[in-house]
Amino acid sequence: MIELSDVHKAFGSNKVLRGVNLTIPKSTSMVIIGGSGTGKSVALKCILGLVTPDRGTITLDGQDVTKGDRDAFLARFGMLFQGGALFDSLPVWQNVAFRLLRGSLKRPKAEARDIAVEKLRRVGLKSETADLYPAELSGGMQKRVGLARAIAAEPEIIFFDEPTTGLDPIMAGVINELIREIVTEMGATAMTITHDMSSVRAIADNVAMLHDGVIKWTGPVSRMDNSGDPYLDQFIHGRAEGPIEAVR
């Protein structure tokens, strides 16, 4: 279980998070929605310790994430970055198998490669892709390689930052299914950021909406459509009119 309480983060005068409270139960899928630039990516990075919150606490299974063994903590996580963040000096398969080639999860090269190829297949990439370099791939392919890397070591907790942006509808469907599968079959805890409402419905157990630096609404996906919350309603129906000012 991941718990954020009263998390604040500002960059200079830009107050991005202003008291985020959120609980993600174990083995469930949480989807975070919210306007562009509201701090969704920053919130994920706070949990991983890539960004240090100014205030508030984040706990994983009751343990403060800033305390204790950092290596052991990170070994439980996988993360897909919004921009892919592939290592452009390494071929695709070494990107995917990065964790399996070094450190505590190290295994023989051939085995690591087999796992990488299998993960690539699951995100809809052919085995020929394995030996290409990231710069030789299209944007959507890079995204999927990033996804394969995030799940390669079968972590308990996986963060997906916009997994389906830039993918065609069919591939987006494949990825949604994959994320769902990882949660239900492998019992992983997933936290996904997406702007795609069909993804939300396909992936989520629970939904949280970030707006103005706080969680404006959170609840099970089934209650999303009749929440009565004007912010959430405006967002999921994509209306220009409403409490969220679209043009600032």
Partner 1 sequence: MSLTASLAAIGRPVLAALALIGRLALYAFETVTHLLRPPFYGREFLHALVQIGWLSLPVVGLTAVFTGGALALQIYAGGSRFNAESVVPSIVAIGMTRELGPVLGGLMVAARVASSIAAEIGTMKVTEQIDALVTLSTHPMKYLTLPRVLAATLAVPVLVGVGDAIGIMGGYLVGITRLDFNAAAYLKNTADFLETWDVVSGLIKGAVFGFIVATMGCFYGMHSGRGAQGVGRATKSAVVAASVLILAANYILTELFFSA
Ligand X SMILES: Nc1ncnc2c1ncn2[C@@H]1O[C@H](COP(=O)(O)OP(=O)(O)OP(=O)(O)O)[C@@H](O)[C@H]1O
Task: State the residues that interact with partner 1 by CB under 8 A.
Answer: 45, 48-50, 71, 74-75, 77-79, 81-83, 85-88, 98-99, 102-104, 149
Nearer to ligand X, 42 or 130 (CB): 42
For Mg ion, the closer CB: 40 or 216 = 40
The yes or no reply on residue 82 touching ligand X (CB under 6 A) is yes
Beta carbon of residue 86, minimum distance to partner 1 (angstroms, whole number):
7
Stretch that binds ligand X, among 29-37, 65-73, 135-143, 182-190 (CB under 6 A): 29-37
| Site residues, Mg ion (CB under 5 A) | 41, 82
- Residue 103 touches which member of ligand X, Mg ion, partner 1, none, C-beta under 5-8 Å by kind: partner 1
Residue 218 interacts with ligand X (CB under 6 A)? no
Asked whether 158 and 189 are in contact (CB, 8 A), the reply is: yes
Is residue 190 within 8 Å of 163, Cβ to Cβ? no
What is the spatial distance between Cα 229 and Cα 244, in angstroms, rounded to a whole number?
12
Does the footprint of ligand X cover residue 84 (CB under 6 A)? no
Give me the least distance between CB of 211 and ligand X, in Å please. Answer: 10
Q: Does 39 bind ligand X (CB under 6 A)?
A: yes
When the beta carbons of 58 and 152 are compared against ligand X, the nearer one is 58
Using CB under 6 A, which of the segments 21-29, 34-42, 53-61, 128-136 binds ligand X? 34-42
Among 25, 37, 169, 243, binds ligand X (CB under 6 A): 37
Q: Which does 71 bind (CB under 5 to 8 A by kind): partner 1, ligand X, Mg ion, none?
A: partner 1
Following DSSP, what letter does each residue of the chain receive, concatenated? -EEEEEEEEEETTEEEEEEEEEEE-TT-EEEEEE-TTSSHHHHHHHHHTSS--SEEEEEETTEETTSS-HHHHHHTEEEE-TT----TTS-HHHHHTGGGGSGGG---HHHHHHHHHHHHHHTT--GGGGGS-GGGS-HHHHHHHHHHHHHHT--SEEEEESTTTT--HHHHHHHHHHHHHHHHHH--EEEEE-S-HHHHHHH-SEEEEEETTEEEEEEEGGGSTT---HHHHHHHHT-SSSSS-S--
Q: Footprint of ligand X on this chain (CB under 6 A)? A: 11, 14, 16, 34, 36-42, 82
